[in-house]
Chains A and B, each alone.
Chain A
Amino acid sequence: MPLITIVCHGLEDDLRVDGRGCEDYRHMEIETDVVSNTDGSAKVTLGHTAVLVGIKADIGKPRPMVPNEGYLEFFVDCSANATPEFEGRGGEELGTELSNTLYKVFNNKHSVDLKGLCISAGEHCWVLYVDVLLLQCDGNLYDAISVAIKAALFNTKIPRVHISADEEGGKEIELSDDPYDCMRLNVENVPCIVTLCKVGHRHVVDATLQEKACSVASLIISVTHKGTVTCTRKVGGGSLDPESIFEMTKAGKRVGKALHAPLMKLLQQEESLGKTRQKVGFLG
Chain B
Amino acid sequence: MPTDTKRVRGPEVSQSPSLFLCKPAAVFPSHGARADGRQRDQVDVRPVFVRCGLVSQAKGSAYIEAGNTKLMCCVYGPKETERKDETDMKCGKLTTDMRFAPFSCLERGSWIQGSQDKDLSLMLHESLQPAVCLHKYPRSQIEVNVMVLENSGSVLAHAVTCASLALADAGIEMYDLVLGCSIRQDGASYVVDPSYMEENSCSSVGSKNQGGLTVAFLPSLNQISGLQSDGEMTEETLTAGVRTCIEGCYKLYPVIQQALAKAVRRAAPPPSES
Binding site for B on A (CB under 8 A): 64-65, 93, 96-97, 99-100, 104-105, 107-110, 217, 219, 224, 227-242, 245-246, 249-250, 253
Contact = CB atoms under 8 A, between A and B. Distances in A.
Contacts of A228: 208, 232-234
Contacts of B130: 217, 237-239
Contact of B230 (A93, A97, A231, A237): A231
Contacts of A108: 210-211, 230-232
Contact of B115 (A100, A241, A245): A100
B222 interface: yes
B222 A242 contact: yes
Size category, B interface: 35 or more
Given A64-B15, A228-B234, A96 B115 contact: yes
Contact of A242 (B119, B206, B234, B242): B242
Contacts of A97: 119, 122
7 smallest CB-CB distances across A and B, nearest first, come from A239-B130, A239-B223, A100-B119, A234-B227, A239-B225, A237-B129, A104-B230
Contacts of A96: 115, 118-119, 122
A214 B183 CA distance: 32
23 contacts: A96-B115, A97-B122, A100-B116, A107-B231, A108-B210, A108-B211, A108-B232, A110-B232, A217-B130, A228-B233, A229-B229, A232-B227, A234-B126, A234-B224, A234-B226, A234-B228, A236-B126, A237-B130, A239-B130, A239-B218, A242-B224, A242-B242, A242-B243
Nearest to B128: A237
- Chain A contact surface mostly: mixed
Given A229-B234, A239-B223, A253-B235, 14 more contacts: A99-B115, A109-B232, A228-B208, A233-B227, A233-B228, A234-B126, A235-B126, A237-B126, A237-B130, A238-B130, A241-B224, A242-B246, A245-B242, A249-B235
Nearest to A217: B130
- Chain B contact surface mostly: mixed
A233 B119 contact: no
A86 B226 CA distance: 26
B123 to A, nearest CB: 8
Contacts, number: 105
A240 B239 CA distance: 14
Nearest to B203: A109
B232 A229 contact: yes
A246 B242 contact: yes
B242 A239 contact: no
B233 A240 contact: no
Contacts of B230: 104-105, 107-108, 230-231
B96 to A, nearest CB: 12
B238 interface: yes
A258 to B, nearest CB: 14
Interface of B: 15, 19, 25, 115-116, 118-119, 122-123, 126, 129-131, 206, 208, 210-211, 218, 221-235, 238-239, 242-243, 246
A107 B200 CA distance: 12
B5 to A, nearest CB: 18
A56 B78 CA distance: 47
Contacts of A105: 230
Contacts of A238: 129-130
A100 B118 contact: yes
A237 B133 CA distance: 12
Contacts of B25: 65
Nearest to A223: B235
Given A236-B126, A237-B126, A246 B239 contact: yes
Contacts of B19: 64-65
Contacts of B210: 108-109
Contacts of B131: 239
A232 B126 CA distance: 14
Interface centre among A231, A232, A249 (most CB of B within 10 A): A232
Nearest to B233: A229
Contact of B239 (A65, A100, A219, A249): A249
Interface centre among B116, B208, B210, B225 (most CB of A within 10 A): B225
A227 B229 CA distance: 15
A198 to B, nearest CB: 11
Contacts of B234: 227-229
A104 B119 CA distance: 11
A250 B235 contact: yes
A79 B171 CA distance: 40
A239 B238 contact: no
Contacts of A64: 15, 19
Contacts of A93: 122
Contacts of B129: 237-238
B4 to A, nearest CB: 21
A232 B206 contact: no
A229 B218 contact: no
Nearest to A107: B230
Contacts of B239: 246, 249
